[in-house]
Amino acid sequence: MMIKLKEQVTLNSRVGILKLPQPSLTSDVKAGTKCHVAGWGSTRLSGKGHSDDLREVNVIIVDQETCKSQYHKLRQEITKNMLCAGNKKRKQDICNGDSGGPLLCENTYRGIASFGTRKCQGKLPSVYTHLTRQYLDWIQHVMKNN
């Protein structure tokens, strides 16, 4: 969700701004890049319930072709407007209720949590909407005109 405020807010330790990528940096985030994602989603493997606290997990960008291959088996299409990331080693990932959360890579907003596997175990990487130039142009247009 985007919110355009009528007046400026005071930035502090609890209120900040997520930096959008520069249009020249909207190409694919390289596989192996360390990122993190935050949300109030479920912390249970069942995917039920939600956290009372904002939680964060480190994830690593997965090669697009590898992700496509893994999701093809589940009959899910991975497009060029998507990024995949996960943390197989620690079995930590986004879960139900985390959709819409930010994927930050090198302190820059690179993706939006979209979907993952049903049990939230990190066996497959989760999928994020990739903030491509097309999306950034749309964000700029909406913020200027509304």
C-alpha pair distances (Å), 79 with each of 54, 93, 111, 129: 29, 20, 14, 9
What is the rounded distance in angstroms from the CA atom of residue 101 to the CA atom of residue 132? 16
The CATH number of the domain holding residue 73 is 2.40.10.10
Average pLDDT, the chain: 85
Count the alpha carbons within 13 Å of 135 in the hemisphere toward its beta carbon.
19
**pLDDT of res. 63:** 93
pLDDT tens figures, 65-102: 999 999 998 888 999 899 999 887 767 778 888 889 99
The pLDDT of 111-124, averaged and rounded, is 79
pTM of the prediction? 0.86
The verdict on residue 40 lying in a domain is yes
The verdict on residue 33 lying in a domain is yes
The verdict on residue 23 lying in a domain is no
**pLDDT of res. 113:** 93
The verdict on residue 130 lying in a domain is yes
Domain total in the chain: 1
Whether the pLDDT of residue 128 is over 90: the answer is: yes
pLDDT tens figures, 20-63: 888 765 567 899 999 999 888 887 766 677 888 888 889 999 99
Whether the pLDDT of residue 10 is over 70: the answer is: yes
The verdict on residue 71 lying in a domain is yes
The pLDDT of 127-137, averaged and rounded, is 91
